[in-house]
Amino acid sequence: MSDNPTTLDRRTQRSWFRRITTRLGAENIGLLLALVAVITFFGLMSPQFLSMDTFNSVAFQLPELGLLTLAMLMPIIAGGINLSVTFTANLCGLTLAWFLHVNGGPEAGVLAFVVGSVLAVGVGTATGLVMGPVIAYTGAHPILVSLSMMIFVRGLGEFLTRGADISGFPDFIQPLGHGSIWGFPIPLLILLLAVGAWHVLMGRTRLGFSNYMIGSNIEATRYSGIPTRRVVTWIYALSGAMCAIAGIIMMARFNSVRVGHGESYLLITVLACFLGGVNPFGGFGKVVSVFLALIVLQLLSSGLNLLGASQHLATAIWGIMLVAVMILRWAAGQLTFLRIKR
C-alpha cells in the first residue's frame, strides 16, 4: 500500500480528487452522478422534463415519502427498524382529523388545528415510547417489535374508522398540502426543514452521535457512559413524532385520512435509506445522502410518468436500482480488496 507516485502530475490529480471525495463523501458523489444521469436521460427523452412542472410534481410528491423516510432513518442507524411508520402516520392524521371534527369539522379554528397537531405528534411519539423501551430493555428484535406495533396501529385505525375515509376539514389546512410561499411549495419547505433538523440532530448532537455508536456496538457504547436505553427510547419516540408530521402533510394533501394511505411507501422508505448509503447493520448513514437518494427516486418516477409509464414501472426500477447500487458497492469493495492484496 506504499504510495509511489511516478509523476508529480498524477499525485496532484489524486489529491485534488481525494479532496473532493472526502469533502462530499464517496456516497454523495455516486448519488450526484445518478442524479445527473437521471436528469440528462429524461431531459433528452422528453423536452417537458426540464420544466417547472417536473419541479412541482417532485416538490409536492416528495414530502410524504421524504418525511416517512426520515422517520425510518434514525432507527435503522441505531441497528433497528421501524416498520410501523406508515400506519403510525395514518393514526396521527386520524387523531388530528378527530380533533378537528370534535371542534366543528370544516368550521374548526386554527387553534383546534394547532392543538390537534400537538395531539397527533403526541400519539406518534407514544408509539415510539412503547417500542423504544421494549427494544431497549428486553432485547427483542426491532423488526418484530415494530411489526407487531404496525399490526396493532393498523388495527386500531381500522377499528376507529371502520375502514372509511375521514374528510371535511377547514379550508386553511389546504395550503399545507398544495400551497406555495413566493412560488415555493409549502410541503417541500416542511420537508427541507425536517431534513435540516434531522441533519443537525444526527450530525451535531449527543443524541445523534450516540445513535451512530449504538448502531455499531450498543454494549461498548454503554460501557463508555452513554445512557443507551434512554437514547434508543428517544430514537423511536422521534421516529414516531416524524410520522405524525408526515401524517399531517398527507392529510392536507389528500384532504382526507384513510388507514392505508401511503401503505406502499413502507418498503420504499427502507429502500431509500439503503440507496442513500445507510449501512443495513446500523452505525453509518447520512441524512444528506438519503435526501439525495430520495430526489433521485422521485425524479425517476416523475420522468417515467412524463413518458407515459405507470408508477408501477417506477417501483420496479427503484428495486432494480437498489440491486444495482448494492452490486456496484460490492464491486468497489472487491477492487479495493484486490488492490490491497496486490
Partner 1 sequence: MAPVPVLSLANINVTFGGVKALQNVSFEVLPGEVQCIAGENGSGKSTLIKVISGVYQPAPGAEIAIGGSAVSAMTPVAAHHAGIEVIWQDLALFPEMTVAENIGIRQVLGAVPHLINHGAMRTVARDALARLGADLDIDAPLRTFAIAQRQIVAIARALAGEARIIFMDEPTSSLTRSETDRLLDIVRTLSAHGVAVVFVSHRLAEVLEISSRVTVLRDGTLVGVYPTEGMTQSRLTELMTGKTFQTTVRTRDNAAAQIVLAVEGLSRPGDYEDVSLTIRRGETVGLTGLLGAGRTELALSIFGMLRPQAGSITVGGKKLNARSNRDAIAGGIGYLSEDRLALGLIQQQSIADNTVITVLDKVLRAGLISGRKKDALVRGWIEDLAIKIGQPTDAISTLSGGNQQRIAIAKWLAVGPRLLILDSPTVGVDVGARAGIFEIVEKLAAEGLAILLISDEVPEVYFNADRILHMAAGRIVAEYDPHTVTLKDLEAAVYG
Partner 2 sequence: MAKVRIPQLLRANPTETWLVIVLLLITIGMSLSSAQFFTVANLFNLLNTSSVNLIFAVGLLVVLIAGGIDISFAVAASVVQYVVATLLAKVGGGDWVSGLVLGALVGAALGAFNAALIYYFRIISIVVTIATFNIFFGLLMFFTKGVSIYNLPDWWIHRTMLIEFQQANGAWADLTLPVAIMTACVVATWVLIRHTSIGRQLYAFGDNPEGARRLGINIAAMHFVAFGWLGLMAGIAGVAQVHYTQQVVPNALAGRELDVLAAVVLGGARLGGGRGTVLGCVLGVLLISVTQNALNLLGISPYAFKMIVGAVILAAITLSNAPLGKMLAAIRARRST
The residue ranges that bind partner 2 (CB under 8 A) are: 83, 130, 134, 137-141, 143-145, 147-156, 158-159, 162-163, 263, 267-268, 270-271, 274, 280-281, 309-310, 312-320, 322-323, 326-327, 330
Binding mask 246-285 for partner 1 (x = CB under 8 A): -------------------------------------xx-
Question: ∠ CA(141), CA(143), CA(147), 5° rounding?
Answer: 120
Site for partner 1 in 7-36 (CB under 8 A): none
- For position 234 contacting partner 1 by CB under 8 A, the verdict is no
- For position 342 contacting partner 1 by CB under 8 A, the verdict is yes
Three cell numbers written together for 184? 415555493
Q: Which residues contact 26 (CB under 8 A, 6 or more apart)?
A: none
326 binds, among partner 2, partner 1, none (CB under 5 to 8 A by kind): partner 2
Closest approach of Cβ 167 to partner 1, in Å?
Answer: 42
Question: What kind and span of H or E run contains 257?
Answer: strand 256-257
Closest approach of Cβ 4 to partner 1, in Å?
Answer: 13
Whichever of 180 and 216 has its CB closer to partner 1, that residue is: 216
List the beta strands (DSSP E) in 96-246: 166-167, 180-181, 184-185
Closest approach of Cβ 239 to partner 2, in Å?
Answer: 16
**Residues shown for the chain:** 342
Q: Is 54 exposed, middle or buried (0-12, 13-18, 19+ CB in 10 A)?
A: buried
Given a contact cutoff of 8 angstroms between Cβ atoms, the answer to whether 58 and 290 are in contact is no
CA distance 101 to 56: 31
- Which chain residues interact with partner 1 by CB under 8 A? 200, 203-206, 209-210, 212-213, 216-217, 219-227, 283-284, 340-342
